């Protein structure tokens, strides 16, 4: 079974766990907004507003949200920017839920969700050259074995001057974990339980985007120098550790592995922005 197929099947079960605990939005929030005491959703949406600004999205623009999950961020960004979004992922169960959300929120004229084949991310072949104003990703590229191919495909489908902006799970040296072997020792449970092909680093993402042809304008560890406990409110932990839905034990163990990597400091989240030169 390919890694991409494993990811697709992972989300058949993860959707029950994630929706019951996180609702429609499954990515980390802006740490400063969380520190101000905003709810997880409000702080995540504040980050989405920053992403919209970094992407330079204007009313009427066309953008792709790659790995759109159940669509929470896609609908919100389309609303905030008054622009049009296509959300893509490789799991039809997620896309169907995202479509229902768009319908329920009255946004189905602005956002469309499609399911693509497991390896279509390497070419994004359904899109002609230079057709989009922006490509956005939230914590989806981390799943891909061939991340560099995705960045090349994103470059191809963007208009000159178009931007790619995204947030993703990363690994890094921290404290006593300095060598690749030590880092992997502390984070490999996350790869296993969350079906992450491999965790990149801030530098590796910058390199892949640059090699694809982009001018990278932002490549930042959102938790520079501190452990990444973003979007893990203590009050929410029992919902994870006592989760009893489909494959409950798997998701409980996953939470333990992720918290261990957060505590070791080797897990973090990065924010990226880059432009296709006009």
Ligand X SMILES: C[S@@+](CC[C@H](N)C(=O)[O-])C[C@H]1O[C@@H](n2cnc3c(N)ncnc32)[C@H](O)[C@@H]1O
Binding mask 25-64 for ligand X (x = CB under 6 A): xxx-------------------------------------
Give least dist CB 98 to ligand X, A: 9
Give least dist CB 214 to ligand X, A: 20
Interface positions, 202-221, toward ligand X (CB under 6 A): none
CB 107 within 8 A of CB 75: yes
Q: Does 7 bind ligand X (CB under 6 A)?
A: yes
Q: Does 73 bind ligand X (CB under 6 A)?
A: yes
Per DSSP, the three-state class of 267 is: strand
Question: What is the Cα Rg of the chain in Å?
Answer: 18
By C-beta, is 23 or 173 nearer to ligand X? 23
CB 167 within 8 A of CB 217: no
Q: What are phi and psi of 28, to 5 degrees?
A: -65, 160
Picking from 108, 112, 154, 111, the residue whose alpha carbon sits closest to that of residue 133 is: 154
By C-beta, is 67 or 230 nearer to ligand X? 67
Strand partners, 220: 271
CB 222 within 8 A of CB 139: no
CA distances from 241 to 29, 228, 236, 245, 265 (A): 21, 19, 9, 11, 21
Residue from 77, 134, 144, 219 touching ligand X (CB under 6 A): that is 144
By C-beta, is 75 or 219 nearer to ligand X? 75
Q: Write out the E strands in 17-147.
A: 62-66, 84-89, 111-115, 132-138
The number of angstroms, rounded, from the C-alpha of 264 to the middle of its chain's C-alpha atoms is 22
The number of angstroms, rounded, from the C-alpha of 250 to the middle of its chain's C-alpha atoms is 21
By C-beta, is 177 or 193 nearer to ligand X? 193
Window of 22-30, 154-162, 179-187, 241-249 that interacts with ligand X by CB under 6 A: 22-30
Size of interface with ligand X, in residues (CB under 6 A): 24
Residue from 38, 96, 100, 116 touching ligand X (CB under 6 A): that is 116
CB 262 within 8 A of CB 229: yes
Give least dist CB 190 to ligand X, A: 12
Residue from 51, 89, 157, 158 touching ligand X (CB under 6 A): that is 89
Name the CA dihedral angle for 201, 206, 209, 211, rounded to a multiple of 10 degrees: -110
Q: Does 138 bind ligand X (CB under 6 A)?
A: yes
Instruction: Please identify the residue of the shown chain whose CB is closest to the bound ligand X.
Output: 69
Window of 29-37, 125-133, 135-143, 213-221 that interacts with ligand X by CB under 6 A: 135-143
* Residues contributing to the site for ligand X (CB under 6 A): 4, 7, 11, 25-27, 67-69, 72-73, 88-91, 94, 116, 118, 121, 138-140, 143-144
């Amino acid at each position: 079974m390919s890694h991409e197929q494993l990811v697709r099947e992972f989300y058949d079960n993860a959707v029950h766990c994630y929706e019951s605990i996180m609702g429609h939005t499954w990515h980390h929030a802006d740490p400063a907004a969380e520190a101000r005491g905003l709810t997880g959703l409000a702080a995540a949406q504040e980050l989405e507003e920053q992403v919209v600004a970094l992407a330079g999205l204007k009313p009427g623009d066309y953008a792709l949200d790659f790995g759109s999950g159940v669509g929470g961020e896609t609908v919100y960004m389309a609303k905030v920017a008054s622009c049009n979004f296509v959300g893509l992922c490789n799991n039809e169960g997620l896309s169907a839920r995202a479509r229902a959300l768009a319908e329920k929120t009255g946004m189905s004229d602005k956002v469309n969700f499609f399911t693509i084949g497991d390896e279509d991310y390497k070419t994004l072949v359904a899109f002609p050259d230079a057709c989009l104003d922006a490509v956005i990703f939230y914590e989806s590229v981390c799943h891909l074995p061939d991340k560099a191919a995705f960045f090349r495909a994103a470059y191809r489908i963007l208009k000159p001057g178009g931007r790619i902006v995204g947030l993703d799970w990363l690994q890094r040296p921290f404290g006593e974990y300095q060598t690749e072997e030590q880092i992997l020792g502390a984070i490999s449970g996350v790869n296993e339980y969350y079906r992450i092909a491999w965790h990149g680093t801030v530098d590796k993402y910058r390199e892949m985007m640059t090699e694809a042809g982009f001018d990278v304008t932002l490549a930042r560890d959102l938790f520079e120098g501190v452990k990444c406990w973003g979007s893990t409110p203590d009050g929410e932990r029992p919902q994870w550790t006592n989760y009893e839905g489909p494959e409950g034990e798997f998701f409980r163990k996953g939470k333990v592995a992720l918290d261990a990597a957060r505590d070791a400091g080797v897990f973090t989240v990065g924010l990226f922005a880059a432009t296709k030169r006009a």
